[in-house]
Amino acid sequence: MTALNEHPRTADVSTEPVTDEEIFAAHEGGKLGIAVTKPLADPRSLAIAYTPGVAKVSRAIAEDASLAARYTWASRLVAVVSDGTAVLGLGDIGASASLPVMEGKAALFKTFGGLDSIPLVLDTTDVDEIVETLVRLRPSFGAVNLEDVSAPRCFELEERLIEALDCPVMHDDQHGTAIVLLAALRGANKVLDKDIAGQRVVIAGAGAAGIACAKILLAAGAGDITLLDSRGIIHSGRDNLNPIKARLAEVTNTSGLRGGQAEALRGADVFVGLSAGTVPEELVATMGPDAIVFALSNPDPEIHPEVAARHAAIVATGRSDFPNQINNVLAFPGIFRGALDSGARRITERMKLAAADAIVAVAEDDLAADRIVPSALDPRVAPEVAAAVARAAKEDGVA
């Protein structure tokens, strides 16, 4: 594996298979621990860190609550929260089974963003109960990363937490995916000398990630978006659309298409797969010239990248063993770091767009068809994203 102090290319992918024995051995005892920042080596250090010294700090915070940001870790601590209802490609596996994934997310926060985080898996799927729990725990953390919460509850949960908590809240499955997708599309368009304003983008999958991707591409000026769910193209004439899909139907599909995959992909410029479905090669062959295919379902892309490459100019997946991995780790460590560095009270659309621009900027010097975003291991990404997000937070007046 490439060292983290190097600048690895996305094309330098790992092909050596990982064994089950390695996986379980690496997870034994969990992937996290707590490190003490001030050594307790003698009676004096113990008297400072704990009783009687700690009482002075607690009294000071009791008189001025803002001092907790300076004298505790809470303001720099991210709560990684899940109810285990939409875990990776595993679905609703419950809180306990989701914990290894949340531990992994916390490890990524520390490795790439330098942020401490605590996994909190909640044994409830009730939005009211989750909101109440996090409101009560608010003194213990400085930000909330929602993870693997099923749609459509995830939309309501995020909105309510943003209103209830005076700190950054982001559902990474929605916005982290959308930010890295936008960065990848901008990188691909730079390679192909294309403009997003002239492109029709097909998004297969209208769950949390698909809807967030549609929204951010609209905000970035995409020419037209065709959104597909299990029943076909979402359009304003369809019955039984939930409120979120109904709102998107009003601002997408300006071409007025009807039907399913075949009608959506014919002549399209970009395909984004987020549905865990499959796309036949013959449909990809009907896309427009210099097409872009992002087959992002894991572990099985909607179409094998080598097959898609027969017809598309640029192909990306969510996997680490193919070029152009679209990986949320390019976004969330820097986004939360920038939000916390700036003292932001929330994460805005401007901050998300700034993060996407920063990701592309890191790769700009050597963009290529097999490198439209930086490697997930590139150590430059999180600091650049954090700086851009912090600037955007100040511009938006939320810092």
Give the residue numbers marked as catalytic. 50, 105
* CA angle at 332 for the pair 318 and 16, rounded to the nearest 5°: 35
DSSP string, 302-364: SS-HHHHTTTEEEEEES-TTSSSB--GGGTHHHHHHHHHHHT-SS--HHHHHHHHHHHHHHHG
| DSSP conformational letter for 9 | -
Alpha-carbon span 120 to 130, nearest angstrom: 11
- Going by C-alpha positions, the residue among 322, 257, 308 that lies closest to residue 280 is 308
Confirm if 193 and 264 have CB atoms less than 8 A apart. Answer: no
**Backbone φ, ψ for residue 55 (5° rounding):** -60, -35
Distances (CA, A) of 147 to 41, 172, 381: 38, 6, 21
Q: Quick one: CA torsion of 111, 375, 372, 396, rounded to 10 degrees?
A: 10
| CA of residue 100 relative to chain centroid, distance | 18
CA quadruple 224, 229, 232, 238: dihedral sign: negative
Alpha-carbon span 247 to 261, nearest angstrom: 21
Helix axes 381-396, 349-363, angle to 10 degrees: 150
Say which residue the tokens 């001092």 belong to.
67
Say which residue the tokens 């089950």 belong to.
20
Please, what is the end-to-end C-alpha distance for the chain in angstroms? 38
Alpha-carbon span 362 to 385, nearest angstrom: 9
Residue 68: CB atoms within 10 Å: 18
Q: Where are the alpha helices (DSSP H) in 93-195?
A: 95-108, 127-137, 153-164, 172-192
